[in-house]
Chains A and B, each alone.
Chain A
Amino acid sequence: MERDTHFVLGVYEDEDVLLDAVKQVRSSGVKIHEVYSPYPVHGLEHVLGYKRSRLPIAAFLFGILGTTLALTMQFYMMKFDWPMIIGGKDYAAFPDFIPVSFEMTVLLAAFGMVGVFMVSSNLKPWAQPRIFDVRITDDKHVMAIDIANNSAMDQEKIKEILKSSGATEVNNKSFDE
């Protein structure tokens, strides 16, 4: 695969410089492949123009599923399948079913959301990530620019833009895949 394998990297030291740099680089017409950071930088997703994550919706839907499953299970078992009078209560003692329903809601919401997160971000034990720079997980922010995606612009020009935006280093990185 030719695409996505040759990159220009801008290395940044400071999160606030990085935020301004992303704005500058984008406004000069360069398409940013992705920015890599050692920790979550607040506001980075806004300047990169990412849409809000829909993971909360996934959590909500899984939560509703948990509530429904828990209530269905309890009503079926206690009222229909094997009705017994316990403590003089109704077979379908609804208030008694609340704690288990709550726990099942939380359980499914949490696991469902995390599962969707793992799948959408391709997180799995055997995943082989592209490591642009080992310092990404230490103390440097790296802006990766895909050359194939910016064919209209000269490579030297891109490097210039990165330098003037505050990058302390500008490197090339290729992956053979």
Chain B
Amino acid sequence: MQVTSSVREPLVTGGKSYHDVTHDVSRQVEGKPSLSWFLAFLTAAGVLGLGSIALIATLWEGIGMWGLNKTIGWAWDITNFVWWVGIGHAGTLISAVLLLFRQKWRTSINRAAEAMTIFAVICAAMFPVIHMGRPWLGAYWALPLPNTFGSLWVNFNSPLLWDVFAISTYFSVSLVFWYIGLIPDFATIRDRATGLRKTIYGALSFGWDGAAKTWMRYESVSLILAGLATPLVLSVHTIVSFDFATSVIPGWHTTIFPPYFVAGAIFSGFAMVLTLMIITRKVFKLEDYITMGHIELMNIVIIITGSIVGIAYITEFFIAWYSGVAAEQYAFINRATGPYWWAYWSMMTCNVISPQLFWFKKIRTSIVATFILSLVVNIGMWFERFVIIVTSLHRDYLPSSWAMFYPTWADIGVYLFTFGLFFTLFFLFAKFFPVINMAEVKSVLKSSSEKAAK
């Protein structure tokens, strides 16, 4: 039936049978958590607890706890927001875009990447909500609800409102897409279990029976959801970039922002997927499913998107000069040589130079190098957002208003809180949910495993 080219690398190594796939993945859910899992989980929960002190202080006292001033009204909060949303782009890209392009290698990484997406978007959404100052009233400011402030509605001309719709749609559609994929795997765990676990996973599996008719509908739903999620994922970071691009601040007011932000999002998202996958495959002994081939392909995506981001930085600089607008030219010269030069050059080094190392096959097929570079890329992408946001604001129109931004302990603490939240959720997911999509891996096993190639 299916023809496999002998030059393609196998997607699953180690001569796995269908039952081996079930066993290798379900084993993590069924067994007692390992000591290393407990240590990792407790560390994450500890960071979450520490960070929550800063979060509570911010909610109690107001956002005056942060280092913002009258010149720099947006700094770490929006930087962290854009950074987390960017990270949250890889999951849907892997599961939706690669599904449309029939890239079978997505099958063993899509589950964890989508989980990461959902948790990253939760972390991202925290920041605009906290930034409202009184988030318990936020629903009136963010949603078109009838209210007693007069019949004043939310402003549909504002990109900030578009963001509310984009992020909430993205979050809920990604969650549904992820859950639909989980249903058959929950059924697998249900059928292996007894007692309480059977009841819990039975409810989670929604009474899945694996009938051919249900699979037909499932495939239809997956394909349409992928078709919907692909423009959706591109729209989300486009709209995030509109928050800046539609303003009249020199350094923000550029038409290059939407594609540049989307490329940056994929770049940082793949880096985060790599960071998590390298740990997960090691801890859960899944090296036969998440192979060197997967890591190499993801590194290639990083070279491409990293290069797009690099070209965007250079184009921005060139257009600032070529436009002949003095304010625009100053904004960019100031980025590279002003008081925040160190942030700018950290960004350039981490995002433009470091991913180019992946041209060397030795580096892109080295676990250690990939792990380090995946961290470097995300540090770089954090600096990119910081540079765009803070350096464009800190030189106001009047030199008397020029200022610097210094983070307070609350800024750092709230950022730590989201790290704690992200990793706590991810570790819980890794323990209680099947981290690899068993059904989809089985569907490519016959045509693309090492065993089949023989």
Give the interface of A toward B (CB within 8 A): 14-16, 19, 34-41, 43-45, 48, 50, 53, 55-56, 59, 73-74, 77-78, 81-82, 86-87, 89, 93, 96-97, 99-100, 102-104, 106-107, 109-111, 113-114, 117-118, 120-132, 134-139
Contacts known (A50-B212, A59-B228, A134-B192); A39 close to B217, Cβ less than 8 A: no
- For the complex, what is the distance from the CA of A77 to the CA of B143, rounded to whole Å? 12
Provided the pairs A106-B228, A107-B169 are in contact, do residues A137 and B221 lie with their beta carbons within 8 angstroms? no
Contact A99 B228 (CB under 8 A): no
Question: A36-B210, A82-B152, A138-B19 are contacts. A121–B191 as well, Cβ < 8 Å?
Answer: no
CB pair A37 B156 closer than 8 Å: no
Residue B151 at the A interface, CB < 8 A?
yes
Q: How far is B173's CA from A164's CA once the two chains are assembled, in angstroms?
A: 46
For the complex, give the distance between the alpha carbons of A56 and B220 in Å.
Answer: 7
Say which residue of B19, B191, B211 sits within 8 Å of A35 (CB atoms): B211
Q: Are B228 and A110 in contact (CB under 8 A)?
A: yes
A-B contact pairs, 5 of them (CB 8 A): A34-B211, A38-B22, A41-B212, A124-B206, A124-B207
Give every chain A residue within 8 A of B1 (Cβ-Cβ).
15-16, 19, 43
Residues of B within 8 A of A16 (CB): 1, 446
B144 adjacent to chain A (CB < 8 Å): yes
- Which residue on A lies nearest to B219, using beta carbons? A40
| CB-contact partner of B191 in A40, A87, A131, under 8 A | A131
Who on chain B is nearest to A53 by CB? B220
Q: A99-B165, A137-B191 are in contact. Are A38 and B212 (CB under 8 A)?
A: no
Contact of A123 among B183, B191, B215 (CB under 8 A): B183
> What separation, in Å, do the CA atoms of A15 and B136 have in the docked complex?
54
- B-side residues, CB < 8 A to A, are 1, 17-19, 22, 144, 150-153, 155-157, 159, 161-162, 165-166, 169, 172-173, 176-177, 180, 183-184, 187-188, 190-192, 203-204, 206-221, 224-225, 228-229, 231-232, 235, 239, 242, 438-440, 442-443, 446
A53 B156 Cβ-Cβ under 8 A: no
Q: A36 contacts which of B18, B155, B166, B209 (Cβ < 8 Å)?
A: B209
Majority secondary structure, B binding face:
helix
B161 contacts A110, CB within 8 Å?
no
Give the CA-CA distance A129 to B219 in the complex, in Å: 20
Shortest distance in angstroms between B179's beta carbon and chain A's nearest beta carbon? 9
Nearest 7 Cβ contacts at the A-B interface: A127-B207, A139-B18, A123-B206, A99-B162, A129-B209, A39-B442, A39-B443
Partner among A34, A114, A124, A137 whose Cβ is within 8 Å of the Cβ of B176: A114
Q: Which of A44, A50, A78, A129 has the most CB of B within 10 A?
A: A129
Q: What total count of A-B pairs have CB within 8 Å?
A: 195
How far does the alpha carbon of A117 sit from the alpha carbon of B183 in the complex, in Å?
13
Contact of B221 among A36, A55, A122 (CB under 8 A): A55
Q: Which of A44, A106, A134 has the most CB of B within 10 A?
A: A106
CB distance from A164 to the nearest CB of B (A): 21
Name the distance in Å between B52's Cβ and chain A's nearest Cβ: 31
Q: Which residues from chain B contact A19 at a C-beta distance below 8 Å? A: 1
Query: Which residue of A50, A59, A109 is within 8 Å of B213 (Cβ)?
Result: A50
A83 to B364, CA, bound (A): 57
Bound CA span A132–B212, Å: 13
Q: Are A99 and B166 in contact (CB under 8 A)?
A: yes
Cβ contact within 8 Å between A125 and B215: no
Distance of A19 Cα from B354 Cα, bound (Å): 50
Give, as a whole number of angstroms, the nearest-CB distance from A23 to chain B. Answer: 13
- CA A61 – CA B122 in complex, angstroms? 30
Taking CB atoms, residues of chain A closer than 8 Å to B173 are 106-107, 110-111
Give CA–CA (A136, B171) in the complex, Å.
Answer: 32
**For residue A134, which residue of chain B has the nearest CB?**
B191
| A125 B203 Cβ-Cβ under 8 A | yes
Contact of B156 with A100 in the complex, beta carbons under 8 Å = yes
- Kindly report which residue of chain A lies nearest to residue B211, judged by CB atoms: A34
Minimal Cβ-Cβ distance residue in B for A55 = B220
For B19, list chain A residues within 8 Å (CB). Answer: 138-139
With known contacts A86-B155, A104-B165, A136-B191, A55–B224 Cβ distance under 8 A = yes
Given A55-B220, A73-B144, are A96 and B157 also a contact pair (CB < 8 Å)? yes
Bound-state Cα–Cα, A41 to B210, Å: 11
CB-CB < 8 A to B22: which residues of A?
38, 137-139
Can you add 6 more A-B contacts, CB < 8 Å, to A77-B144, A106-B169?
Answer: A36-B209, A39-B439, A86-B155, A123-B208, A123-B214, A125-B206
Q: Tell me the bound Cα distance from A123 to B217 in angstroms.
A: 12
Minimum distance in angstroms from A130 CB to a CB of chain B: 7
